[in-house]
Amino acid sequence: MTSRRFTPLPSIILRKRDAEVNSSTVAVRTPRPALLALSLAVIWLSGCAIKPTPFTDAERTQTAQTDRTSMFAQQQPVTGPITLDEAMARAIRYNLDHRLKMMEEALAQKQLDLSNFDLLPKLTAQAGYTTRNHELASSSTNVFTNEQSLAPSYSTDKNDRTADLSFSWNLLDFGVSYYEAKEQADHVLVLEQRRRKVVQLMMQQVREAYWQATGAQRLRDRIGPLLDQARTALNDSRQAQHENLRSPLDTLNYQHALLDLMRQLEEIRDQLEEAKPRLASLMNLEPGKDYTLAPPKDFAAPSFDMPMEQMEETALERRPELVEASYNERISVNETHKAMAKMLPGIEFSLGTHYDSNSFLVYNAWRAAGISVSWNLLNLLNVKNIRGMANAQLEVAKTQRLALSMAVLTQVHVARTDLSAKQRQFDLLKQMNDVDQQILEHTHNATQANASGKLEEIRAATGAMMSELRLYQSYGELENAYGQMLATLGLDPVPDSVNGHDLASLQQSIDGEQQRWAALGHANGDGAGNTAGAGSNAVNGVKTQ
């Protein structure tokens, strides 16, 4: 009988067979607690789905109350009549649009600070802890015989703690961050020019609104008595109509004339009621809060007699839009440099100290240093396109600045012409107002105690009031044209160094700047112009009946 010799299976085959048996056993006998935990996890994740959550009525009410309080917080209260300089100072100090521009500028400065930190090398600290339920064991297999060559072993603890402190610096990242920081610095200056533009336009609006509100303040108390007088005359006419004292056609024409005058008076009152709220909005005063204006006794019509050549030069040098365009052009140059820097190879230096609690290590703490170079060679194929795009962007910025310069020069001539036109209109309306006031005075002296006399007096008083209202409106338009002239030249109402000061400092700065503008226009002109000079343009002799 021949005996067979038993040949054991290779250990690797035995391990594979055992693993298949174990895996099949695990697949058949899945623990119920695991299924329960998986089901609970699915249910919990489905309950965490985000859904729209609208604000409640109480939350909206609270937000509205908080916003209303914040809009007028930390403002110096109005303690007396407001002058033009104080109105300008309040607009600069408290106007929300200006405050928004200032906050945007401050935000850009903070972003610049963050960009400067990107220039520094990276210092990274890391720490970690890992744990396992089994050792990280492994074995080796012979490549040629497919047999196990080493017994299973491990060289890592179940629980392991690591700590690293690394210092690295990438020259490519430094170069890109450098140009990005320069662009952010120019962006800060761009926002500063936008804030200047907001202030200049706001001062122009304050000038016009202030004088319109002044006219409203002086005429508001005269409309009520005139309306009462017109209603009395209308009632008397209707009583006479019932008694048949006059012909019906004459009486109806008389009543129609009275009603038309009352309509005009109501329109005037509506216009006057809108003037002071507009000025209050510019000064950020609470809506509905009454205040009194204190305009100068002698209203001088402004003028600006700087030679046109110097006005053009001043506008090209000081206009915020042109300064912003120059900064944008410099940003385009830095963008070109940044695009070219990205094509260079990246060289990174690293230095660090490390720790690992693994007990199998001979040295648990060690230091390492290294240098690495990386370069995307495909960028070399795109050099021409990148450079062409950067140059095209720079040319666009230059062309935009040239087009804007042409527009600024045109605006200088238009603003000068508009100021002269508003000056002529104001002179004519002043003469008309003088005539209407004289007509009212003569009509009042010649009035007889009859219906016809009352109608003529009411008509003359209404005409005089409308003439005076048009005079103040014309003066407001003249001041607006003067403000537009200053804004066109890029003249700031206050230096940048006093923008954050109190109202008293702002008023002094505004007054000083206006005197400087007046001296500038007088010194460079023919001597006839003065922003604060009196003379034939003074709005004196305006009578209040």
Q: Worst-scoring range by mean pLDDT, 15-19, 327-331, 509-513?
A: 15-19
Query: Which 8-state DSSP code applies to residue 541?
Result: -
pLDDT of 153: 87
User: Is there a contact between 472 and 204 (Cβ–Cβ < 8 Å)?
Assistant: no
Percent of the chain residues topping a pLDDT of 70:
85
Beta strands across the sheet bearing 122-131 = 122-131, 159-170, 346-356, 365-374
Q: What is the mean pLDDT of residues 16-26?
A: 44
pLDDT of 10: 47
CB atoms within 10 A of CB 174: 16
pLDDT of 65: 85
User: What's the whole-model pTM score?
Assistant: 0.72
Q: What is the mean pLDDT of residues 224-247?
A: 80
pLDDT of 531: 36
pLDDT of 48: 66
Q: Worst-scoring range by mean pLDDT, 231-245, 267-281, 284-298, 332-346?
A: 231-245
pLDDT of 409: 93
Q: Is the pLDDT of residue 533 over 60?
A: no
pLDDT of 496: 67
Q: Judge whether 405 lies within some domain.
A: yes
Per-residue pLDDT band for 221 (boundaries 50, 70, 90) equals: confident
Distance CA 521, CA 526 (A): 9
For 95-168, where are the alpha helices, taking DSSP H only? 96-117
Which residues of 321-451 form beta strands (DSSP E)?
346-356, 365-374
Output the furthest CA–CA distance in the chain (Å, rounded). 162
Q: Tell which wins on pLDDT, 399 or 302.
A: 399
Q: Worst-scoring range by mean pLDDT, 100-114, 210-224, 237-251, 409-423?
A: 237-251
Per-residue pLDDT band for 457 (boundaries 50, 70, 90) equals: confident
Q: What is the mean pLDDT of residues 447-469?
A: 72
Sign of the alpha-carbon dihedral angle for 484, 489, 495, 496: positive
Q: Worst-scoring range by mean pLDDT, 280-289, 295-304, 325-334, 361-370?
A: 295-304
Structure tokens of 405? 């310069």
Distances (CA, A) of 542 to 210, 428, 464: 18, 14, 10
Per-range mean pLDDT, top range of 124-133, 234-243, 490-499:
124-133
pLDDT of 335: 84
Q: Is the pLDDT of residue 22 over 60?
A: no
pLDDT of 165: 92
pLDDT of 45: 65
Q: Judge whether 457 lies within some domain.
A: yes
User: Is there a contact between 161 and 357 (Cβ–Cβ < 8 Å)?
Assistant: yes
Per-residue pLDDT band for 161 (boundaries 50, 70, 90) equals: very high
pLDDT of 412: 92
Q: Tell which wins on pLDDT, 459 or 167.
A: 167
Distances (CA, A) of 234 to 199, 226, 269: 50, 12, 20
Q: Is the pLDDT of residue 492 over 80?
A: yes
Q: Judge whether 246 lies within some domain.
A: yes
pLDDT of 17: 44
Query: Which 8-state DSSP code applies to residue 493?
Result: S
CB-based contacts of 308: which residues, under 8 Å, 6+ apart?
412, 413, 416
Per-residue pLDDT band for 26 (boundaries 50, 70, 90) equals: very low
Q: Judge whether 439 lies within some domain.
A: yes
Average pLDDT score over the chain:
80
Nearest to 489 by CA among 309, 325, 330: 309
pLDDT of 366: 93
Q: Judge whether 357 lies within some domain.
A: yes
Q: Judge whether 227 lies within some domain.
A: yes
Q: Tell which wins on pLDDT, 186 or 244.
A: 186
Percent of the chain residues topping a pLDDT of 90:
12
pLDDT of 403: 92
Q: What is the mean pLDDT of residues 385-398?
A: 84
Crossing angle between the packed helical segments 96-117 and 84-94, to the nearest 10 degrees: 40
pLDDT of 539: 36
Q: Judge whether 200 lies within some domain.
A: yes
Per-range mean pLDDT, top range of 78-92, 372-386, 514-528:
78-92
CB atoms within 10 A of CB 188: 18
CATH of the domain at 215: 1.20.1600.10
pLDDT of 535: 32
Instruction: Output Rg (C-alpha) for the chain, integer angstroms.
Output: 42
Q: Tokens 């304050």 identify what position? A: 206
3-state helix/strand/coil string of 21-89 = HHHHHHHHCCCHHHHHHHHHHHHHHHHCCCCCCCCCHHHHHHHHHHHHHHHCCCCCCCCCCECHHHHHH
Helix (H), strand (E) at residue 343: none
Q: Judge whether 152 lies within some domain.
A: no
pLDDT of 528: 34
Q: Worst-scoring range by mean pLDDT, 405-414, 458-467, 477-486?
A: 458-467
Q: Is the pLDDT of residue 66 over 50?
A: yes
Q: Is the pLDDT of residue 348 over 70?
A: yes
Nearest to 331 by CA among 193, 113, 172, 185: 185
Per-residue pLDDT band for 242 (boundaries 50, 70, 90) equals: confident
pLDDT of 232: 83
Q: What is the mean pLDDT of residues 469-497?
A: 83
Nearest to 176 by CA among 326, 331, 343: 343
pLDDT of 316: 92
pLDDT of 320: 92
- Owning domain of residue 461: 86-129+168-524
Q: Is the pLDDT of residue 410 over 90?
A: yes
Q: Is the pLDDT of residue 241 over 60?
A: yes
Q: What is the mean pLDDT of residues 226-241?
A: 81
Structure tokens of 144? 């040629």
pLDDT of 46: 67
Q: Worst-scoring range by mean pLDDT, 10-24, 118-132, 451-465?
A: 10-24
Distance CA 326, CA 485 (A): 22
pLDDT of 12: 43
CB-based contacts of 425: which residues, under 8 Å, 6+ apart?
474, 477, 478
Structurally, the chain folds into a number of domains equal to 1
User: Is there a contact between 398 and 329 (Cβ–Cβ < 8 Å)?
Assistant: yes
CB-based contacts of 92: which residues, under 8 Å, 6+ apart?
98, 199, 202, 203, 493, 494, 499, 506
pLDDT of 497: 60
The residues that bridge with 162 in the sheet, in sequence order, are 128, 356
Structure tokens of 437? 């006031």
Helix (H), strand (E) at residue 399: helix 383-446
